[in-house]
A and B are shown apart, each in its own frame.
Chain A
Amino acid sequence: MTQVRKLYVWQLPVRFYHWNNAICIVALCLTGFLIGKPIALQTAAEASSSYWFGIIRFTHFVFAFLFFFNFMFRTFWGFVGNDYARWYHFIPLKKKQWREIVQVLKIDILQATGKPIESVGHNSLAGFTYFITFLFFTLQSFTGFALYADMSTSWFPHLFAWISPILGGDLLTRQIHHILMWGFIIFAIIHVYLVFYHDYAEKRGVTSSMIGGWKFIEEEKETEK
């Protein structure tokens, strides 16, 4: 007989982080894109009557702070949260994790049929991918705050003021910041698709798991009759 086990996987802080992060990234990509390529208005306006670009930038900075501290919070939760949230699921240090990465690639990308993936939380490939996005988060925050440092009198952004000189100035810092945006956009496209795909193919309820926290793991029940 088949049994579906209900598992509480994503704790509230993880879910909170996830949606906060999603909103921030969407907002930062939208505002960031506009900062990089403002729409061309042909108006007869006077500068004193409008501030829309200033507001776009302000929004970018507000979400930037949210994004950064949210990310810091998730990093912290990676050390204190439940097993599924822990940092070691994100960095493939064990052979077993690499084996699972290969297995996932075979099943999901090459679409071979095989044993279902064992991991209940993130599978090893997903975890590793998220680790790479965390590196992106770090780079994006660092370059962002480096650019922000000289527009701000507050001490916090100035903690990042050493970054621009290493990159030879703001020119490269800004270009890296811009290029990384595309990393976020492409990640988001693939991420959303794969979640839907897994929901469809594995029927474990991944999509809703990030809302309610529960996953449904189907397994054969041994005896019991």
Chain B
Amino acid sequence: MNKKPKTVYEEFQAKGHSRRDFLKFCTMTAAFLGLEYSAVGKVVKALENKPRPAVIWLHFQECTCCSESFIRSSHPLVADIVLDKISLDYTETLMAAAGHQAEKSLQDTMAKFKGEYILLVEGSIPTDANGAYCCIGGKSAMQIVEEVAEGAKAVIAWGNCASSGCVQAANPNPTGAKPVHKVISGKPVINVQGCPPIAEVMAAVVVHILVFDTIPQLDGLGRPKEFYSRRVHDTCYRRPNYDAGLFVNSFDDENARKGYCLYKMGCRGPVTYNACGVTKWNNGVSFPIQSGHPCIGCSEANFWDNGPFYQHLPSFPGFGIETTADEIGVGLGLVTVAGIAAHAITTNVRKRRALFGKRVDDSNVDISKE
């Protein structure tokens, strides 16, 4: 067990992939990371020389869609790089070990690669009832994540659950579900947002850490800027229709067939930061808007609580489920106008005397300037 860990490239070769495949992968990843072409060499070099990093992948309150997305990434090597090449030493859904064996392998990895391993977390962490809502091997998710994050070189939160709580944290959040960055402290957490995140984005973030030995630059909400600095709206191919004011008004109208903008169908593209419009999904086949469905904003915090998904304005908290700020605004406006009418009438009745009783006689007025 003491021999030098293989480099990523050596693992590639051992798996029977050609050098050509390897270079293709490096080029693609460099492109995803937004590096210039000359930096491809850097990626190649890093993957050729650096030992594969140890990775611990924890699963808490989640639906495994992040893992599902990941293993369906376009380039087979993308999934390989983490699942095989970057050794996945512990992941509940994919590892072979079980029970005490599995827990032991977790402890071993933590001890052996202290300060070296990358922690990937999928799922939110319940904090109510002392974390009793999610326990693995006799420990609560809260305990586990704190323990494992302690010795991690970097912490990546996969998906909306781990980044902002997703559906578990939606109102009324019965288990007190929290994202990773609210549970651990003293370590930057990379929020790879989305429900699920795009597979290529997930892989590229890991490669970034591998190549540069630093975490990527993050935006105000902890998302890597490489992938989350632009709104879906800014890279949407339907955008010219938006600017031209050509909107779909119902899912089966002529405008929908023409592929007009889905803004009026509740598209959250204008407030959602993600790479869907560029990277797309399933090997670049499509993304929700291209398939005729408005963006639901799955890479934004609280997107579940900003429904209904099929109208532009979210419902106003505390009112009926489809009551929007506009309806309330119109209501208040009418009340205001009614109040004004009542006021105008009473003014004329009650202040009759004051209004019409005393008239300033012009001849008696001395207009002086001060």
Identify the A interface with B (CB < 8 A): 1-7, 36-54, 56-57, 109, 111, 113, 150-151, 161-162, 164-165, 168-175, 178-179, 181-182, 185-186, 189-190, 193, 197, 200-201, 216, 218, 221
The 15 listed contacts between A and B (C-beta, < 8 Å) are A4-B368, A37-B312, A38-B245, A40-B249, A50-B246, A51-B243, A150-B229, A150-B231, A169-B300, A169-B301, A173-B271, A179-B316, A179-B325, A182-B325, A201-B354
Q: Which residues B246-272 have CB closer than 8 A to chain A?
A: 246-247, 249, 253-255, 258, 263-264, 268, 270-272
B140 at the interface (CB under 8 A from A): no
Q: Is the CB of A45 within 8 A of B244?
A: yes
Known: A52-B245, A54-B243. A169 touches B221 (CB 8 A): yes
Q: Is the CB of A168 within 8 A of B337?
A: no
Instruction: Tell me the bound Cα distance from A6 to B367 in angstroms.
Output: 7
B172 at the interface (CB under 8 A from A): no
Binds A, one of B18-26, B41-49, B60-68, B326-334: B326-334
Q: Is the CB of A1 within 8 A of B364?
A: yes
**Residue from A39, A47, A168, A186 in contact with B244 in the complex, judged by beta carbons closer than 8 Å:** A47
Known: A150-B231, A171-B314, A190-B336. A5 touches B370 (CB 8 A): yes
Q: Is the CB of A168 within 8 A of B340?
A: no
A175 partner residues in chain B, CB cutoff 8 A: 306, 313-314, 325
Instruction: Tell me the bound Cα distance from A169 to B303 in angstroms.
Output: 10
Q: Is the CB of A4 within 8 A of B220?
A: no
B241 at the interface (CB under 8 A from A): yes
Q: Is the CB of B234 within 8 A of A182?
A: no
User: In the complex, how many residue pairs between chain A and chain B have their CB atoms under 8 Å apart?
Assistant: 168
**Residue from B244, B303, B329, B346 in contact with A181 in the complex, judged by beta carbons closer than 8 Å:** B329
**Residue from B220, B254, B268, B336 in contact with A161 in the complex, judged by beta carbons closer than 8 Å:** B220
How far, in Å, is B108 (CB) from chain A's closest CB?
Answer: 38
Interface size class of B (residues with CB under 8 A): 35 or more
* Beyond known contacts A4-B365, A182-B328: 12 more, CB 8 A cutoff: A6-B370, A7-B370, A40-B264, A53-B245, A150-B231, A164-B220, A171-B302, A171-B306, A173-B271, A186-B332, A189-B333, A201-B347
A193 partner residues in chain B, CB cutoff 8 A: 340, 343-344
B271 partner residues in chain A, CB cutoff 8 A: 169-171, 173-174
B126 at the interface (CB under 8 A from A): no
**Residue from A47, A164, A168, A197 in contact with B344 in the complex, judged by beta carbons closer than 8 Å:** A197
Chain B residue, CB-CB nearest to A3: B366
Contact pattern, B 316-357, Cβ under 8 Å of A = 1, otherwise 0: 100000000110110011001100100110110011011100
Q: Is the CB of B370 within 8 A of A111?
A: no
Chain B residue, CB-CB nearest to A169: B300
Q: Is the CB of A38 within 8 A of B313?
A: no
B332 partner residues in chain A, CB cutoff 8 A: 182, 186
How far, in Å, is B13 (CB) from chain A's closest CB?
Answer: 43
B242 at the interface (CB under 8 A from A): yes
A185 partner residues in chain B, CB cutoff 8 A: 329, 333
Instruction: Tell me the bound Cα distance from A173 to B300 in angstroms.
Output: 12
Q: Is the CB of A48 within 8 A of B354?
A: no
Instruction: Tell me the bound Cα distance from A202 to B22 in angstroms.
Output: 85
Instruction: Tell me the bound Cα distance from A53 to B247 in angstroms.
Output: 10
Instruction: Tell me the bound Cα distance from A190 to B155 in angstroms.
Output: 54
B115 partner residues in chain A, CB cutoff 8 A: none
Q: Is the CB of A41 within 8 A of B245?
A: yes
How far, in Å, is B66 (CB) from chain A's closest CB?
Answer: 20
B114 at the interface (CB under 8 A from A): no
Instruction: Tell me the bound Cα distance from A186 to B326 in angstroms.
Output: 12
B337 partner residues in chain A, CB cutoff 8 A: 189
Q: Is the CB of B241 within 8 A of A47?
A: yes
B316 partner residues in chain A, CB cutoff 8 A: 179
Q: Is the CB of A41 within 8 A of B326?
A: no
B297 at the interface (CB under 8 A from A): yes
Instruction: Tell me the bound Cα distance from A211 to B168 in angstroms.
Output: 58
How far, in Å, is B299 (CB) from chain A's closest CB?
Answer: 9
A42 partner residues in chain B, CB cutoff 8 A: 249, 253-255
Q: Is the CB of B312 within 8 A of A189?
A: no
Chain B residue, CB-CB nearest to A56: B245
A150 partner residues in chain B, CB cutoff 8 A: 229-231, 234, 273
Chain B residue, CB-CB nearest to A164: B220
Instruction: Tell me the bound Cα distance from A40 to B350 in angstroms.
Output: 47
Q: Is the CB of A197 within 8 A of B246?
A: no
Q: Is the CB of A221 within 8 A of B246?
A: no
How far, in Å, is B243 (CB) from chain A's closest CB?
Answer: 4
